[in-house]
């Protein structure tokens, strides 16, 4: 496929016959106007319904079909199904408001030529031109076989105008003929300029690659391979060569006829897609594991806290409980890192100034980094405000700086920078996870050992580390990656061996000013009560912990191990129940669904939802808003304070 990005479609004298499946007149007008602005002369027919589309499709020939992805009662993919007949050979371009990466890949697999977002109609003329070129190429390839039998002149004409690179070369390596597409691909001024090369081996980044391909030509008569070539300007490109051994009629000797396709961009996009799929799969696994661990760790922490409260500080058993709690806290920290990588961590964002967060963290950094490493800062004075969780931002900075410290065992320089940056559609098209817009950038640069390409490919994978055994968990950079992605940002890394590494984290800016400083931690005395609380929790350890904690504070407690049992218990005791404590994920019936059923018999019952998984928040938001969340793993003090605060609040009125 030829690359026409960046150049407008050339004016055409023959009208382009378009069938447009769309029901919104304004969208039709904007689309056709964009095509006419580019110089494309169009004859357009529109169809709002499937029946109208089929009638017009049968009535006359069309060069291309444009279709909205979503139409009343049908879709653009339905339109594709009707034009898949090879005899029609009509390309289809989707014009849609939104289309995610996964859906786009699926649509391409089903056979669309391209898609254009309605907010980016300026790209439509180029997409139309590409679709027409691809269609022309298909037709040209079909004609090529016939042209080869008819005459050498017609065959050479086809080769000359092909969008793929084509060349003939002798077995020793002398170039005999090159077509214009190959000249453009390699960045030469003309075919004559390219033919001055005495040996085609100089085109290869590794000349031994040509020797390997030549062996295939000589033994089988045919060869197909993907290799790296060097352009005239020194840039390396990846090409797919497909050739055969033929007889040169003029020289009466064997030569090789080769078709070349530049697949550099395609392979880069495929790599990005595979990387995204890999991280998504790992993230789902890590998130699921961490979700289950939260319950177990919460129970361990809770029972350890109760044990500490009930044993004298100087008792040997008290010290044992302290050690249990310390190990459980380490496990909880590991779980939080897994959730951060999986983008399932519950965030508490506020509008904040990254520069202020860096300044507040610097004193701690200097103690952690060591005196043999010089810390420099270059902070933009006009840095935009971002909406982020301050604790998570601090973790990003600490993890990147500790990673930089470990990369400089003999000392060096660590530079922390911030700046405002903006990205357009062209940049984001070639960068994974980047979205057009304005960002605040945090960069951490070290002068350490650097990383090779193989390490860079895996640098954000959880548990991947190049450090010695016992020197790290391999979750630091994975956590940074997950936090940035969960905040709607992304991260880039650049590294050179023996020179150093730079990590750049991009966070979307907020239109609101920075919030005031957080209030100090609540130090109020824990208060109990005599109210009745229904606790629904499927994890036995947490269920028993809640019972022990709340009964100790004077509350009456009813227990349920699944959502349906919670509904039954409420129906039996609805007059005396003052508060519900519901785990979000419960067997048989989720916490939010159980609450919906309970409200059918008694509206506005106070409730606290317990979860340690950000994905669970969506379950709450589907039907309910503004209800208290108790984040797992929680301590007995957290549980007691959340219950008392909720009971003391005015009665909530449920949203309809």
Q: Phi and psi at residue 412, in whole multiples of 5°?
A: 160, -155
**pLDDT the model gives residue 268:** 67
**pLDDT the model gives residue 4:** 41
Q: How many CA atoms lie within 13 A of 604 on its CB side?
A: 5
CA 36 – CA 131 distance, rounded (Å): 17
**pLDDT the model gives residue 51:** 92
**pLDDT the model gives residue 298:** 64
CATH number of 532-648: 3.40.50.2300
**pLDDT the model gives residue 283:** 53
Q: Is residue 7 over pLDDT 50? A: no
Q: Is residue 288 over pLDDT 60? A: no
CATH class in words for 350-508: alpha beta
Q: What percent of the chain has pLDDT over 90?
A: 4
CA 613 – CA 342 distance, rounded (Å): 10
Asked whether 131 and 108 are in contact (CB, 8 A), the reply is no
CATH number of 16-138: 3.40.50.2300
> By mean pLDDT, which of 46-60, 285-299, 343-357 is the weakest?
285-299
**pLDDT the model gives residue 438:** 87
Full DSSP string of 23-83 = --HHHHHHHHHHHHHTT--EEEEEESSHHHHHHHHHHS--SEEEEESEETTEEHHHHHHHT
Question: What are 89-115's pLDDT values in tens digits?
Answer: 889 999 988 878 888 888 888 888 888
Question: What are 158-207's pLDDT values in tens digits?
Answer: 667 778 888 888 888 888 888 888 888 888 888 888 888 888 888 888 88
Q: How many CB atoms lie within 10 A of CB 372?
A: 11
CA 309 – CA 303 distance, rounded (Å): 10
- Say which DSSP state 524 is in: P
**pLDDT the model gives residue 279:** 55
CA neighbor of 426 nearest in space, from 56, 126, 10, 76: 126
Average pLDDT over residues 40-54: 90
- What does the domain layout of the chain look like in residue ranges? 16-138, 164-262, 269-333, 350-508, 532-648
**pLDDT the model gives residue 522:** 52
Task: Decide whether 16-138 matches 532-648 in CATH topology.
Answer: yes
Question: What are 298-307's pLDDT values in tens digits?
Answer: 667 667 777 7
What contacts 24+ positions apart, CB below 8 Å, involve 215-223? Answer: 217/171, 217/243, 217/244, 217/245, 217/256, 218/171, 218/245, 221/245
Question: What are 358-416's pLDDT values in tens digits?
Answer: 887 777 777 777 778 888 888 988 888 888 877 778 778 877 887 888 888 888 889 99
Q: Using N-to-C axis directions, what is the helix angle for 540-552 and 636-648, rounded to 10°?
A: 60
Q: Is residue 75 over pLDDT 80? A: yes
CA 73 – CA 48 distance, rounded (Å): 10
Please enumerate in sequence order all residues whose Cβ is within 8 A of that of 377, keeping only pairs 6 or more positions apart, or say none: 358, 362, 415, 416, 417
CA 259 – CA 264 distance, rounded (Å): 16
Average pLDDT over residues 309-327: 74
Asked whether 365 and 632 are in contact (CB, 8 A), the reply is no
Q: Phi and psi at residue 624, in whole multiples of 5°?
A: -135, 155
**CATH 3.30.450.20 applies to domain 164-262:** yes
Question: What are 515-545's pLDDT values in tens digits?
Answer: 555 444 455 677 888 889 998 888 887 788 7
Q: Is residue 344 over pLDDT 50? A: no
Q: How many CB atoms lie within 10 A of CB 488?
A: 16
Instruction: Please compute Rg for the chain using Cα positions.
Output: 32
Q: Is residue 623 over pLDDT 80? A: no
CA 338 – CA 612 distance, rounded (Å): 12
Q: How many CB atoms lie within 10 A of CB 407?
A: 20
CA 585 – CA 592 distance, rounded (Å): 9
The residue with tokens 């610097």 is 362
- Say which DSSP state 103 is in: H
CA 494 – CA 51 distance, rounded (Å): 54
Which ranges of 162-247 does DSSP label H, i.e. alpha helix? 180-186, 191-195, 208-220
Q: How confident is the model at residue 3 (pLDDT cuts 50, 70, 90)?
A: very low
Average pLDDT over residues 586-610: 85
> By mean pLDDT, which of 69-78, 360-369, 635-644 is the weakest?
360-369
CA neighbor of 640 nearest in space, from 567, 561, 552, 563: 552
Q: Is residue 277 over pLDDT 70? A: no
Q: How many CB atoms lie within 10 A of CB 470?
A: 6
Asked whether 273 and 283 are in contact (CB, 8 A), the reply is no
Q: Is residue 22 over pLDDT 70? A: yes
Q: What is the mean pLDDT of the chain?
A: 78
**Nearest 5 degrees, angle CA 515-CA 517-CA 521?**
130
CA 511 – CA 517 distance, rounded (Å): 18
CA neighbor of 159 nearest in space, from 130, 175, 173, 179: 179
Q: Is residue 449 over pLDDT 80? A: yes
Compute the Cα dihedral for 83, 87, 88, 93 and give only its sign.
positive
């Amino acid at each position: 496929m030829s690359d026409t990005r960046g150049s407008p479609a050339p004016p055409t004298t023959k009208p382009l016959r378009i069938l447009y499946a769309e029901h919104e007149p304004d969208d039709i007008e904007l689309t056709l106007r964009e095509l006419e602005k580019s110089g494309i002369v169009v004859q357009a027919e529109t169809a709002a319904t499937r029946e109208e589309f089929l009638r017009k499709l049968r009535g006359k020939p069309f060069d291309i079909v444009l279709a909205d992805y979503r139409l009343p009662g049908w879709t653009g993919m339905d339109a594709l199904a009707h034009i898949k007949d090879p005899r029609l050979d009509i390309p289809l371009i989707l014009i849609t408001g939104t289309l995610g990466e996964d859906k786009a890949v699926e649509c391409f697999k089903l056979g669309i030529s391209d898609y254009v977002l309605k907010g980016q109609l300026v790209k439509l003329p180029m997409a139309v031109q590409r679709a027409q070129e691809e269609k022309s190429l298909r037709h040209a390839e079909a004609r090529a076989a016939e042209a080869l039998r008819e005459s050498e002149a017609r065959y050479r004409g086809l080769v000359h105008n092909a969008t793929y690179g084509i060349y003939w070369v002798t077995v020793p390596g002398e170039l005999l003929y090159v077509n214009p597409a190959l000249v453009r691909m390699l960045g030469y001024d003309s075919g004559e300029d390219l033919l001055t090369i005495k040996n085609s081996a100089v085109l290869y980044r590794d000349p031994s690659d040509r020797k390997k391909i030549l062996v295939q030509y000589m033994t089988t008569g045919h060869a197909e391979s993907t290799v790296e070539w060097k352009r005239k300007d020194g840039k390396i490109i990846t090409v797919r060569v497909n050739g055969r051994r033929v007889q040169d009629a003029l020289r009466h000797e064997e030569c090789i006829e080769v078709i070349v396709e530049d697949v550099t961009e395609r392979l880069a996009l495929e790599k990005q897609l595979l990387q995204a799929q890999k991280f998504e799969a790992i993230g789902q696994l890590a998130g699921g594991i961490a979700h289950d661990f939260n319950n177990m760790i919460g129970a361990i922490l809770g029972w350890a806290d109760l044990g500490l409260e009930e044993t004298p500080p100087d008792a040997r058993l008290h010290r044992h409980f302290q050690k249990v709690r310390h190990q459980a806290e380490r496990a909880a920290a590991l779980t939080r890192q897994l959730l951060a990588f999986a983008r399932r961590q519950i965030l508490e964002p506020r509008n904040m100034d990254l520069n202020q967060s860096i300044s507040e963290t610097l004193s701690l950094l200097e103690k952690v980094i060591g005196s043999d490493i010089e810390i420099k800062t270059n902070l933009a004075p006009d840095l935009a405000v971002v909406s982020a969780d301050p604790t998570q931002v601090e973790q990003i900075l600490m993890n990147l700086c500790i990673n930089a410290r470990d990369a400089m065992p003999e000392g060096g320089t660590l530079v922390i920078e911030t700046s405002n940056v903006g990205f357009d559609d062209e940049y984001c098209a070639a960068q994974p996870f980047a979205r057009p817009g304005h960002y605040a950038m945090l960069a951490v640069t070290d002068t350490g050992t650097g990383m090779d390409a193989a390490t860079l490919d895996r640098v954000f994978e959880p548990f991947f580390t190049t450090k010695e055994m016992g020197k790290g968990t391999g979750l630091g950079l994975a956590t940074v990656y997950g936090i940035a992605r969960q905040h709607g940002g992304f991260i880039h890394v650049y590294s050179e061996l023996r020179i150093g590494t730079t990590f750049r984290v991009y966070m979307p800016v907020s239109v609101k000013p920075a919030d005031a400083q957080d209030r100090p931690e609540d130090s109020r005395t824990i208060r109990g009560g005599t109210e009745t609380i229904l606790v629904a929790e499927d994890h036995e350890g947490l269920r028993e912990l809640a019972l022990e904690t709340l009964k100790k504070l004077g509350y009456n407690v009813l227990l349920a191990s699944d959502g349906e049992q919670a509904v039954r218990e409420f129906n039996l005791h609805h007059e005396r129940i003052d508060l519900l404590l519901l785990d979000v994920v419960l067997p048989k019936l989720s916490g939010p669904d159980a609450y919906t059923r309970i409200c059918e018999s008694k509206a506005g019952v106070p409730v606290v939802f317990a979860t340690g998984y950000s994905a669970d928040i969506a379950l709450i938001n589907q039907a309910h808003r503004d209800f208290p969340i108790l984040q797992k793993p929680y301590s007995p003090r957290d549980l007691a304070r959340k219950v008392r605060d909720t009971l003391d609040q005015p009665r909530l009125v449920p949203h309809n």
